[in-house]
Amino acid sequence: MPQAHFRVGYDFSTQTFFTGLVDDVRLYDRALSADEIQALANP
C-alpha cells in the first residue's frame, strides 16, 4: 500500500480545509458492511 498523508477535514484535490467543526471521527482497519454503517448511524 503506498504511503499517503491522512487528514480529517482536508481536500487534497483542492488543497482546502473543511470550514466548521468535526465532532466524531472513527478509524477502522477494514471496510464496514452496510449493516454496520446503518447501526452506527442510528444508535
Closest residue by Cα to residue 19 from 10, 27, 28, 30: 10
CA-to-CA distance for 33 and 31, rounded, in angstroms?
7
C-alpha cell at 28: 477502522
pLDDT given for residue 1 in this prediction: 58
Find out whether 22 and 9 touch, Cβ atoms under 8 Å.
yes
- The full set of domain ranges for the chain reads 10-41
pTM of the model: 0.52
CA-to-CA distance for 8 and 17, rounded, in angstroms?
9
pLDDT given for residue 7 in this prediction: 84
1-43 per-position pLDDT tens digit: 578 778 888 888 899 999 999 888 899 999 999 999 999 998 7
CA-to-CA distance for 10 and 20, rounded, in angstroms?
11
pLDDT given for residue 35 in this prediction: 96
